[in-house]
């Protein structure tokens, strides 16, 4: 029987609630398939700050490096929100991304036909929307140095730096073109080349790489135009590649097409080859949702779809990924809705009811 090492980092707020349901799915998969997991659970984010005084321990990073995959809930919350605090929950996430060299963040945005009414966008605009945003994750504005506050002529000032080198851009471009080939064959590269030098290098390198993928329908798009177009005609997009900052913003915007953050998974990957993808970190794109934490009403679907991505990319078990995604689809088709996607909140089911229904469906496929 094949055995995998999984590090589970529930975090704060609804993180532990959705992770608990995800682990039940994994237990079911262990029963149904010929595989097993050695699972290690650790604190991260606010709960780690409370316990250890830091958002992630070095020991946790060391365990992550030895694992096949990492499953992340969410971190943060009002308790740790003081912007001038020296330790913040998000530092844990930035540190693990950087330490594991997770340079590619894949965020699929798919509109489930039955949920089309949950979106604030007109129904007809949402037909056939199926987008994959690939965001560069460990460089750009979030990591460039200097990144500091200082005093100049007696006034406070702050500086962030957008740094990219050609290898970082080339990696994202190759991944974007390769994944576009496996999908509808279309790629948009998002930048701000009319203003930013880092974007001009981005565009130059992407064009050089494009020569190897002339079969892919390719287009540059300025980030401001991309944000408009995502709302005006989202079905025009297939794969989008973007820098860390632009990718962060456009993926949250794209997530609203689907109606709820609670439906969208993401995978952060380090090593990408034809035979599969090395250690990966899988996390829903939503945060810790402090407004609903502890109420048992969070949507667990983003977490379940993260687990599907984990099987697809880190474990190279596509058949299990498809089974999980089909189970989610069947339950949505059957009309089950958590509060965030319910048309009438009195019909909404709890986190556990939704999770149990998906797991039961898994056993029937």
Binding site for ligand NAD (CB under 6 A): 14, 74-77, 90, 93, 261-262, 283, 286-292, 298-299, 302, 340
* Residue placing its CB nearer to ligand NAD in the complex, 169 or 303: 303
* Residue placing its CB nearer to ligand NAD in the complex, 75 or 358: 75
Q: Which of 248, 282, 313, 323 is catalytic?
A: 248
What angle do helix axes 244-255 and 223-232 make, rounded to 10 degrees? Answer: 10
* Residue placing its CB nearer to ligand NAD in the complex, 286 or 312: 286
Burial 197-221 (b: 16+ CB within 10 A, else e): ebbebbbebbeebbeebeebebebb
Q: Which of 192, 238, 313, 323 is catalytic?
A: 192
Q: Which of 307, 297, 298 is nearest to 327 (CA)?
A: 307
Residues 211 and 23: their CA atoms lie apart, in Å, by 44
Is-catalytic flag, 167? no
CA distances in angstroms from 160 to 39, 88, 222, 248, listed in the order given: 38, 18, 21, 16
Is-catalytic flag, 238? no
- Least separation in angstroms between residue 283's CB and ligand NAD is 5
- Least separation in angstroms between residue 42's CB and ligand NAD is 14
- Least separation in angstroms between residue 293's CB and ligand NAD is 8
Q: Which of 68, 160, 252, 271 is catalytic?
A: 252
Is-catalytic flag, 224? yes
Q: Which of 167, 215, 217, 224 is catalytic?
A: 224
Burial of 256 (0-12, 13-18, 19+ CB in 10 A): middle
Q: Which of 4, 12, 142, 164 is catalytic?
A: 142
* Residue placing its CB nearer to ligand NAD in the complex, 77 or 191: 77
- Least separation in angstroms between residue 19's CB and ligand NAD is 11
Is-catalytic flag, 220? no
- Least separation in angstroms between residue 311's CB and ligand NAD is 20
DSSP string, 78-131: GGG--TT-SS-THHHHHHHHHHTT--EEEEEEE--GGGGGGSSS-HHHHTT-EE
Is-catalytic flag, 142? yes
CA distances in angstroms from 161 to 104, 245, 275, listed in the order given: 20, 11, 36
* Residue placing its CB nearer to ligand NAD in the complex, 241 or 348: 348
Q: Which of 13, 24, 35, 17 is nearest to 315 (CA)?
A: 35
CA 127 to chain CA centroid, nearest Å: 23
Question: Which residues are annotated as catalytic?
Answer: 142, 192, 224, 248, 252
């Amino acid at each position: 029987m094949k055995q995998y090492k999984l590090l589970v980092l529930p975090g704060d707020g609804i993180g532990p609630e959705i992770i608990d349901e995800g682990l039940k799915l994994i237990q079911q998969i262990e029963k149904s398939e010929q595989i097993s997991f050695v699972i290690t659970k650790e604190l991260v984010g606010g709960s780690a700050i409370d316990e250890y005084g830091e958002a992630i321990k070095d020991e946790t990073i060391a365990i992550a490096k030895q694992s096949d995959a990492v499953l992340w809930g969410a971190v943060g919350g009002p308790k740790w929100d003081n912007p001038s605090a020296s330790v913040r929950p998000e530092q844990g996430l930035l540190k693990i991304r950087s330490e594991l060299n997770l340079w590619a963040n894949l965020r699929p945005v798919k509109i489930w036909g039955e949920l089309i009414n949950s979106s604030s966008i007109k129904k007809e605009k949402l037909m056939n929307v199926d987008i994959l945003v690939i965001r560069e994750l460990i460089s750009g504005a979030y990591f460039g140095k200097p990144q500091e506050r200082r005093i100049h002529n007696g006034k406070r000032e702050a500086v962030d730096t957008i740094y990219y080198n050609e290898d970082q851009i080339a990696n994202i471009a190759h991944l974007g073109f390769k994944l576009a080939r496996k999908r509808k064959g279309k790629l948009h590269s998002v930048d701000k080349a009319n203003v930013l030098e880092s974007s001009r290098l981005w565009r130059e390198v992407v064009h050089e790489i494009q020569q190897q993928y002339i079969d892919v329908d390719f287009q540059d798009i300025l980030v401001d135009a991309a944000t408009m177009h995502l709302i005006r005609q989202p079905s025009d997009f297939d794969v989008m590649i973007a820098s860390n900052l632009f990718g962060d913003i456009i993926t949250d915007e794209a997530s609203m097409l689907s109606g709820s953050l609670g439906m969208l998974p993401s995978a952060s990957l380090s090593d990408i080859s034809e035979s599969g993808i090395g250690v990966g970190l899988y996390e829903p794109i939503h945060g810790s949702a402090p407004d609903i934490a502890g109420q048992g009403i969070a949507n667990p679907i983003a977490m379940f779809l993260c687990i599907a991505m984990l099987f697809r990319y880190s474990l190279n078990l596509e058949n299990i990924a498809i089974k999980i995604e089909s189970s989610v689809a069947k339950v949505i088709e059957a009309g089950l809705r958590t509060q965030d996607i319910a048309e009438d909140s009195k019909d909404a089911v709890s986190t556990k009811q939704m999770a149990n229904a998906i797991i039961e469906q898994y056993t029937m496929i």
